[in-house]
Amino acid sequence: MTEGRRAFQASRRALLLAGAAAALPLRAQPQQPFRLGLLTQGDDERYSPQTLLRGFPDAPGGRSEPAAQIALNDSLVTLQMAGRNGAELVALEAPAAADLPATLQQLLQQRVQHVVLELPAPGVAAVAAAARGKDVMLFNAAAPEDALRAAQCATNLLHTLPSHAMQMDAIAQLLVARKWSKPLVLVGPTPGDRLLQAAWQRSAKRFAVRPVAERSFKLSNDPRERELGNVRLLTSERDYDAVVVLDAQGEFAQGVPYRTVLPRPVLGSNGLVAQAWSPFHERNGGPQLTRRFLRRANRWMTSYDWATWMAARCAAEVAGAYIKAGIAQQVQALRQGAVAVDGYKGQRLTFRAWDGQLRQPLLLAYGGGVADVAPLEGFLHPRITLDTLGYDAPETGCKAS
């Protein structure tokens, strides 16, 4: 074969290969890794060693960074299919509340557009105010206060931790379902206790629960106030079906079960507690998630850890599904239910359009198990049964939506 013939055939093969390559679909070039922010506050008393050591049931068990890492690992396939080159967690701690806006700005400078807030309610409100008008999506994973879903709500602020209203609605549903419709209520003196009391009173009215009495408790070293902390005195002289204890700090509530005068169940801040997660949740893949968190964090997963895990999952899923959309469009997709995420609770979960709260079943858990899951059977809703927990659209006080 002549040199000219060989050159002609080589040129022909090159043209054929080029044509075949042109016929294949173009693959998107890998983009930058998905970056998720985790913003914490150093002086958050809930995470102090002394508070964590007490192990109150409706409180954090520790920092939730391991939960965010697990969520990003769970979402890697989704992100890679969308062209993302992996995922990174950018965790920053503000020393105090006054430093939160500056710390948020640091995250924005690192090209972070999705931020999980592991903050108390005032910190969440401060960050939401600082983020107004900025291209960032915020997830509240550690503040249950109802005001953040009402007067202090924001368009780009979503909530994965259940609200006080959701928790109290779950407790009230259980009281009705068990026919414990005449509880004795014990409420503390702190501002946090008053928030729980307001949520409880709303739920009791909503589900026609009629307490026999509300009694105030107080933990004090003053001998003149010792009776206010005596469970037996507080639970005497009345007949009641159950005891609902409202204690935001958890110390008094810890000593209520098995100390009441009448042998009655205890609910609320101890005994049976409405939680986003329990390590004793044994259905819907729950044990697998619990074990993975236990291996990484060396402790049990709490509601606060689950809320961070879920926030990170939602952020990654919406970023993968709407990779060419801006943050405003992604927020809208979550609020309108266009993106639903499996929370290992038996169904895919969506956010409410009116206040940004994640719809979710609540586990009615006690020290060694889960007694039931709310919404309970028989509590109906015109559209979504999960909306029997918390503020429904006609009740919302949020104007930002």
Please state, in angstroms and rounded to a whole number, the distance separating the CA atoms of residues 181 and 117: 37
Query: DSSP labels for 76-114?
Result: HHHHHHTTB--EEEEEEEESSGGGHHHHHHHHHHTT--E
Extract the tokens encoding 394: 């006609």
**β pairing state of 243-246 and 184-187:** parallel
- Over the stretch 292-308, which tens digit does the pLDDT of each residue have? 999 999 999 999 999 99
- Give the mean model confidence (pLDDT) for residues 153-167: 98
- Over the stretch 45-101, which tens digit does the pLDDT of each residue have? 999 999 999 999 999 999 999 999 999 999 999 898 888 888 999 999 999 999 999
Please state, in angstroms and rounded to a whole number, the distance separating the CA atoms of residues 39 and 50: 22
More confident residue, 356 or 228: 356
Give the pLDDT band (50/70/90) at residue 158. very high
Mean of per-residue pLDDT scores for the chain = 91
CA within 13 Å, CB half, 50? 5
Question: How many percent of the chain have pLDDT more than 70?
Answer: 92
Looking at residue 21, its pLDDT comes to 38
- Cβ neighbors of 254 (< 8 A, separation 6 or more) are 54, 56, 270
Give the pLDDT band (50/70/90) at residue 400. confident
**Where do the domains of the chain lie, and which CATH numbers do they carry?**
34-162+277-360 (3.40.50.2300), 165-274 (3.40.50.2300)
- Give the mean model confidence (pLDDT) for residues 1-26: 44
Contact 58, 250 (CB under 8 A): yes
Looking at residue 279, its pLDDT comes to 95
Looking at residue 14, its pLDDT comes to 45
Tell me: pLDDT of 24 over 80: no
- Give the mean model confidence (pLDDT) for residues 340-349: 95
Tell me: pLDDT of 183 over 60: yes
- Give the mean model confidence (pLDDT) for residues 194-223: 94
Looking at residue 227, its pLDDT comes to 81
Looking at residue 8, its pLDDT comes to 43
Query: Which of 130-139, 219-228, 280-289, 330-339 is the least confident region?
Result: 219-228
- Give the mean model confidence (pLDDT) for residues 4-10: 48
Looking at residue 28, its pLDDT comes to 45
Tell me: pLDDT of 383 over 50: yes
Looking at residue 225, its pLDDT comes to 79
Looking at residue 17, its pLDDT comes to 39
